[in-house]
Structure 1
Amino acid sequence: MKGQAIVITGALGALGKVVAAEALARGARVAGIDHAASQLAATADRIELGGVDLTDVAQAKQAIDKAAAHFGRLDALINIAGGFTFETVTDGDPATWQRMYALNVATALNASRAAIPHLVAASNGRIINIGAMGALQAGSGMGPYAASKAGVHRLTEALAAELKGKITVNAVLPSIIDTSANRASMPKAEFAKWVTPKELADVILFLASDAASAITGALLPVNGRV
């Protein structure tokens, strides 16, 4: 991955930080985009763009264009930005469905649309989205989240078909990711069965690499040991 220019959305979150660190360790140049503020000074190999609302089309385009201009190219987009909620359909707030769509689908859609011209110009562009195993069969309380992640799955497939031969588009489908927030919310769970951020990062970066040039439209389960 040496020299590749990669944009990671949600780069300041638990998974985003690990993916960014792993990409940098493999010689990639990384632009991190996040809604949270960033104080990191830009270097030749790394830039962080904080305070970006990726649900806004104009802000997404501005951030992606700035990242591409900083590196002079863009080789891969990794859409990690998103959100989660646990809420039943019967007793929940209808507005939650719109919020989950905005955080999970619209962020990936807006970033992807902004990145496509840059990725096509690179001739070997990659888009990797974050889906969810829970979107394949939703359980109680998972309706709004699972529906939005199912939208990410369909977005992945549609883009892969549209861009075949130009850009590969794939998604990873993790089960529960072993983060401090998930451990706090499920203290009695068997953490050893969960997929670690490092394990998930390895799969994501494989899909961003030249070794995955023949893979597109895939929804790849990353189940840990569940």
Structure 2
Amino acid sequence: MSEVDFDFDGRVVVVTGASGALGSAICEAFADVGATVAATDVVDPDDEDAPLDAGREGIQFYQGDFTDEDSVRDTVEAIADDHGRIDHLCNVAGSWRGGDPVEETDVETFEFLFDVNLKTMFLASKHALPHVQETGGTIVSVSARSSLEGGEGDGPYRASKAGVRLLTETIAEENRGVVRANAVMPSVIDTPANREMMPDADHEKWVDPADIARVVLFLSSDGATPTSGAAVPVYGEA
């Protein structure tokens, strides 16, 4: 397969959920092509379960709780002050919980999923947008394949990720010609945690985080200038 070259030299990229498997892959992908990456997460990268290499060149870690508006405001402003600009935002923070029908789902699970999956995306976008508008940059957010339809046992998760898609379309419409906003829709991502949770699944059908990161790079690049308001499948052939 041929390689595509990206050049993000001089660009500042904010990545939420950076301590997770997909977030860390996106951070590394941007750093590999010359970007300055502001990696943000509530989880410290020194945590033994966090794959992010926050010490590598091109990545600077900012700890913040992106479900809390004051924390988001402070973190985004610190990044802008440190680097003088923000060109790209990648909303990766998210989580999955499920297994119960709606009538058996507790409100804490519902609130947790909407906080982590949708509120973080809303708050990060809200506070990063003034900076991204100045640079004519991009926002790429992580939705999910399952957000396209209802299903058994994980309704709040699907609904929260559907919200990510709709908010992406709204940001694209409101910023037409200024900021491009797109979403990616993974299914099950090939991570150690998912393999442990589903040991009998066909792992060969799962998509590697690094491959999804390349799509995020493309959507953030000048090569995707005609594309805004899209929800791009990144679930391979599964």
Q: Shorter-chain TM-score category?
A: over 0.9
Match for residue 67 of structure 1? 79
Instruction: Please report how far the alpha carbon of residue 202 of structure 1 lies from its aligned counterpart in structure 2 after TM superposition.
Output: 0.4
Amino acid of the structure 2 residue aligned with 1:76:
H
Q: What's the secondary structure of 2:207's corresponding residue?
A: coil
Match for residue 21 of structure 2? 14
CA distance in 2, matches of 1:76, 1:137: 29
Deviations 1:160-219 (A, max 9, x none): 111111100000001110001111111111111011101100001111111112210001
Which structure 2 residues correspond to residues 118-157 of structure 1 after superposition, within 5 A? Answer: 118-122=131-135, 124-157=136-169
**1:109 has 2:122 as partner:** yes
Amino acid of the structure 2 residue aligned with 1:32:
A
Match for residue 96 of structure 1? 109
Instruction: Please report how far the alpha carbon of residue 37 of structure 1 lies from its aligned counterpart in structure 2 after TM superposition.
Output: 2.1
Match for residue 37 of structure 1? 44
Match for residue 70 of structure 2? 58
Q: Is the 8 A contact 1:136 1:150 kept in 2?
A: yes
Q: Is the 8 A contact 1:196 1:224 kept in 2?
A: no
Instruction: Please report how far the alpha carbon of residue 83 of structure 1 lies from its aligned counterpart in structure 2 after TM superposition.
Output: 1.2
Residues 151, 41 of structure 1: alpha-carbon distance in 2 compared, 3 angstrom cutoff: closer
Amino acid of the structure 1 residue aligned with 2:121:
A
Residues 109, 37 of structure 1: alpha-carbon distance in 2 compared, 3 angstrom cutoff: same
Q: Which moved more, 1:83-92 or 1:71-80?
A: 83-92
CA distance in 2, matches of 1:172, 1:211: 16
Residues 38, 188 of structure 1: alpha-carbon distance in 2 compared, 3 angstrom cutoff: closer
TM-score, normalisation: structure 2: 0.90
Aligned residues: 224
Q: Is the 8 A contact 1:135 1:149 kept in 2?
A: yes
Instruction: Please report how far the alpha carbon of residue 144 of structure 1 lies from its aligned counterpart in structure 2 after TM superposition.
Output: 1.1
Q: Is the 8 A contact 1:5 1:29 kept in 2?
A: yes
Q: What's the secondary structure of 2:110's corresponding residue?
A: helix
**1:196 has 2:208 as partner:** yes
Q: Is the 8 A contact 1:87 1:143 kept in 2?
A: no
Q: Please provide the CA RMSD for this pair.
A: 1.6
Amino acid of the structure 2 residue aligned with 1:194:
W
Task: Calculate percent identity across the aligned residue pairs.
Answer: 39
TM-score, normalisation: structure 1: 0.94
Deviations 1:20-62 (A, max 9, x none): 1111111111000000124688898331012x11111111111
**1:166 has 2:185 as partner:** no
**1:49 has 2:62 as partner:** yes
